[in-house]
């Protein structure tokens, strides 16, 4: 191994970060300069990774939760020899289509475990990675799965509320292979963190069941000793590393000026002179680069040893592990759901879609018992997403496949992102649809990253009844449909529920919301073809007798209302058709000819949904009729509420008659 002083290796990170931010005239140099010693110790002495194969399954995970300090991570990828991270990419920091965007994006740059930037998301997502490691190790043995999850976080990460949800879960589950390195520099954008915060983070983490200590984050010996202690702990560990933001900058070090803007030519020159770094932009001494490249190759031996252990497994076990890591669903899933739908046609299930979801889950869990990983934010009995055979996951039962997240919707959603990113599981989590408001930041990142997680959102409308407007979602369907790459299904009956579950589980390039009712619904579907009608977002459920004058579009519980309205119109000699729309945005994404065929050319188009109109004009047109909500809900029995707000078959019929004149 090339012997190079630690300080010179850390300064290579600092120099690249300063130069990249200066060239872009944008970015955050302060964190990479202050945390360079932490990163150098971690990457050269502890982190199990191989720069030549950044995705091998048993690597340690490193999450830069403080995503604004992205140049720290990009510098590390370049220095350690990640073949995609060239010096030219470092020079293109924050430019369009570069591999070095302003905040790390895992879908853009190899070697980045998760997309970060919104503070708190990284540390919360890392909890999910540590959970997946614990579960897989219990299933496949520690010879195959045994790695750490390291997080570098900032003051901002720990101020965000989701961090409390995350650390409480990690402590409760005793995720002892999770180690958080806290860049405790005492500075945020507005100035000293003392302006808004006086939390003792060490005590806070200890109270949540963590091992926690404070060290000098610029002392390489202290950093190494603390990580060694953390690796031996039977609890997750926090290492609060006291650092100086913008370390080395002559006038800006230790101030908010070093946080989120380029240092400027004079300050940059002064910092390099003070640290002993070449004034030549983007230069790294040959011996320093060689030492870093050797550090990047250090994990190759561990990877090869793991490959040998993996090859020694039985062929069936190897194939199962590889399939799970790829998120490839077992053939048994399609077979089980076909049988389930056949049973539904023979014996219709007239229950709430949350209950028909429960029935589908029984079939799913039997087909994929170890990878189907469900959970609820303290609403298990209401969400109905726990299979009868499911055992609770806990510190003592890591093979459990149902997770009690507590009242932590945001933490649950972030944790599921981490579980999916780690690989090996098909995670789903449940709460009420209205509480997607709490989970939304992590749901958005799920959509951005293309994570195939499933959100089981019950109590999907005013139909939940007496809990009233605080719990009744009216704008949430529209808001979720507006999110790029988020797919929303609102099935109308048990057969649609089964089809939507299958579509959701087979979608591994983006998240899916299943919006399910509290109130009972009739089973309307009488066929279940293999080419699932729900796959195109909408389909004609009931055809018109003759040329249709009216097309009735509806989702979920309102499809029943549309069917009843069609019958009443027929009694008046008006031919109409009913189109079930389980996924509005999936319908709108269909090829133009298919979309036009589904929507049809009836002169009157009416949509019925117990939610706001926003989004429906793409189907019914701006002159189309809409039966739904125009404000918030109210407390009362569900049937009374639908009548109170005029979401009835009679109201739809009257609107059509008025339009037809």
Angle at 603 between CA 598 and CA 609, to 5 degrees: 60
Q: Is 403 within 8 Å of 390 (Cβ atoms)? A: no
The string of pLDDT tens digits covering residues 119-149 is 999 999 999 999 999 999 999 999 999 999 9
DSSP 60: P
Read off the tokens for 657.
Answer: 């008659």
Q: Is 298 within 8 Å of 2 (Cβ atoms)? A: no
Measure the CA–CA gap between 467 and 469, rounded to whole angstroms: 7
Residue 266, C-beta contacts closer than 8 angstroms, at least 6 positions apart:
none
Q: Which of 586, 558, 568 is nearest to 493 (CA)?
A: 558
Q: Is 230 within 8 Å of 237 (Cβ atoms)? A: yes
Give me the phi and psi of 361, to 5 degrees please. Answer: -65, -35
Give me the phi and psi of 189, to 5 degrees please. Answer: -60, -40
598: helix, strand or coil: helix
pLDDT for the residue 1 = 63
Within 10 angstroms of residue 218's Cβ, the number of other Cβ atoms is: 19
CA 114 to chain centre: 9
To the nearest whole percent, how much of the chain has pLDDT over 90? Answer: 99
The string of pLDDT tens digits covering residues 400-436 is 999 999 999 999 999 999 999 999 999 999 999 999 9
Measure the CA–CA gap between 78 and 85, rounded to whole angstroms: 5
Residue with tokens 């209302």: 561
Measure the CA–CA gap between 53 and 647, rounded to whole angstroms: 57
Radius of gyration of the chain (CA): 28
**Beta strands at 61-64 and 149-153: parallel, antiparallel or unpaired:** parallel
Residue with tokens 């003759």: 546
Read off the tokens for 85.
Answer: 């991270």
Beta strands in 44-188 (DSSP E): 61-64, 149-153, 178-184, 187-188
Angle at 237 between CA 219 and CA 168, to 5 degrees: 140
CA-to-CA dists, residue 171 to 178, 206, 408, 419, 655, angstroms: 10, 9, 14, 17, 57
pLDDT for the residue 467 = 97
| Catalytic residue, candidates 113, 358, 409, 585 | 409
Measure the CA–CA gap between 576 and 566, rounded to whole angstroms: 6
Q: Which of 484, 485, 565, 493 is nearest to 522 (CA)?
A: 493
The string of pLDDT tens digits covering residues 248-295 is 999 999 999 999 999 999 999 999 999 999 999 999 999 999 999 999
Q: Which of 125, 131, 185, 129 is nearest to 160 (CA)?
A: 125
Catalytic residue check, 409: yes
Q: Is 131 within 8 Å of 173 (Cβ atoms)? A: yes
| Cβ neighbourhood burial of 330 (10 Å; 0-12, 13-18, 19+) | middle
What is the residue-wise DSSP string for 359-426? HHHHHHHHHSTTTEEEEESS-HHHH----TTPPBP-SS-TT--EEE--S-HHHHHHHHHHHHHH-S-E
pLDDT for the residue 226 = 98
CA-to-CA dists, residue 242 to 29, 213, 229, 245, 456, angstroms: 17, 11, 17, 10, 42
pLDDT for the residue 623 = 97
Measure the CA–CA gap between 226 and 240, rounded to whole angstroms: 10
CA-to-CA dists, residue 623 to 344, 627, 661, angstroms: 38, 13, 15
pLDDT for the residue 661 = 87
Q: Is 496 within 8 Å of 586 (Cβ atoms)? A: no
Low-confidence ranges of the chain (pLDDT < 70): 1
Residue 308, C-beta contacts closer than 8 angstroms, at least 6 positions apart:
none
Q: Is 150 within 8 Å of 179 (Cβ atoms)? A: yes
Over 305-335, what HEC string results?
HHHHHHHCCCHHHHHHHHHHHCCCCCHHHHH
**Beta strands at 550-554 and 576-580: parallel, antiparallel or unpaired:** parallel
Residue 56, C-beta contacts closer than 8 angstroms, at least 6 positions apart:
50, 303, 306
Residue 591, C-beta contacts closer than 8 angstroms, at least 6 positions apart:
none
């Amino acid at each position: 191994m090339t012997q190079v002083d630690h300080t010179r290796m850390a300064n290579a990170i600092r120099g690249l970060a300063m130069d990249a931010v200066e060239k872009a005239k944008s970015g955050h140099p302060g964190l990479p300069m202050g945390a360079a010693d932490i990163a150098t110790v971690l990457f050269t002495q502890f982190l199990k990774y191989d720069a030549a194969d950044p995705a091998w399954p048993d690597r340690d995970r490193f999450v830069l939760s403080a995503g604004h300090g992205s140049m720290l991570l990009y510098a590390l990828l370049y220095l350690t020899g990640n073949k995609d991270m060239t010096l030219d990419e470092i020079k293109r920091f924050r430019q369009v289509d570069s591999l070095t965007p302003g905040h790390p994006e895992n879908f853009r740059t190899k070697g980045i475990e998760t997309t970060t930037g919104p503070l708190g998301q990284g540390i919360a997502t890392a909890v999910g990675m540590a959970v997946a490691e614990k579960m897989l190790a219990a299933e496949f043995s520690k010879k195959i799965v045994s790695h750490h999850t390291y997080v570098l976080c900032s003051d901002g990460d720990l101020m965000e509320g989701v961090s409390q949800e995350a650390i409480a879960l990690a402590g409760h589950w005793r995720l002892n292979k999770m180690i958080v390195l806290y860049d405790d520099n005492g500075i945020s954008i507005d100035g000293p963190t003392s302006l808004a915060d006086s939390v003792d983070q060490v005590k806070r983490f200890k109270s949540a069941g963590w091992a926690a200590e404070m060290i000098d984050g610029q002392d390489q010996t202290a950093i190494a000793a603390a990580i060694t202690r953390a690796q031996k702990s039977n609890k997750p560990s926090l290492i609060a590393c006291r650092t100086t933001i913008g370390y080395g900058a002559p006038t800006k070090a230790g101030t908010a000026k070093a946080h989120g803007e380029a240092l400027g030519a004079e300050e940059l020159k002064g910092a390099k002179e003070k640290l002993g770094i070449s004034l030549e932009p983007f230069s790294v001494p040959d011996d320093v680069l060689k030492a870093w490249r050797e550090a990047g190759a250090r994990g190759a031996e561990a990877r090869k040893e793991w490959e040998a252990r993996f090859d020694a497994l039985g062929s069936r076990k190897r194939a199962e592990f590889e399939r799970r890591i790829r998120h490839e669903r077992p053939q048994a899933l399609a077979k089980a759901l076909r049988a389930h739908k056949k049973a539904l046609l023979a014996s219709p299930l007239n229950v709430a879609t949350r209950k028909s979801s429960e029935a589908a889950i029984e079939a799913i869990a039997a087909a994929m018992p170890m990878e189907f990983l469900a959970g609820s934010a303290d609403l298990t009995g209401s969400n109905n997403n726990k299979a009868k055979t499911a055992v609770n996951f806990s510190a003592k039962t890591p093979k459990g496949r149902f997770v009690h997240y507590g009242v932590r919707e945001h933490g649950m959603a972030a944790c599921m992102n981490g579980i999916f990113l780690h690989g090996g599981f098909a995670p789903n989590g449940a709460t009420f649809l209205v509480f997607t408001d709490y989970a939304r930041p992590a749901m958005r990142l799920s959509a951005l990253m293309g994570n195939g997680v499933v959100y089981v959102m019950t109590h999907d409308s005013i139909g939940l009844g007496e809990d009233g407007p605080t719990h009744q979602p009216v704008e949430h369907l529209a808001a979720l449909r507006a999110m790029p790459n988020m797919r929303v299904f609102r099935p109308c009956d048990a057969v649609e529920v089964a089809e939507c579950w299958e579509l959701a589980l087979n979608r591994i390039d983006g998240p899916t919301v299943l919006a399910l009712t509290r109130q009972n619904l009739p089973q309307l579907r009488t066929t279940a073809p293999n080419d699932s009608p729900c796959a195109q977002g909408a389909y004609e459920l009931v055809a018109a007798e003759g040329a249709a004058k009216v097309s009735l579009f509806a989702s979920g519980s309102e499809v029943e209302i549309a069917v009843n309205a069609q019958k009443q119109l027929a009694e008046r000699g008006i031919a109409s058709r009913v189109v079930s729309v389980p996924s509005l945005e999936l319908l709108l994404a269909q090829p133009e000819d298919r979309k036009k065929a589904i929507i049809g050319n009836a002169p009157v188009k009416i949509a019925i949904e117990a939610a706001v109109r926003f989004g429906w004009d793409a189907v019914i047109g701006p002159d189309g009729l809409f039966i739904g909500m125009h404000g918030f809900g109210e407390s009362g029995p569900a049937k009374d509420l639908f009548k109170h707000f005029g979401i009835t078959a009679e109201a739809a019929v009257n609107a059509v008659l008025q339009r037809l004149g």
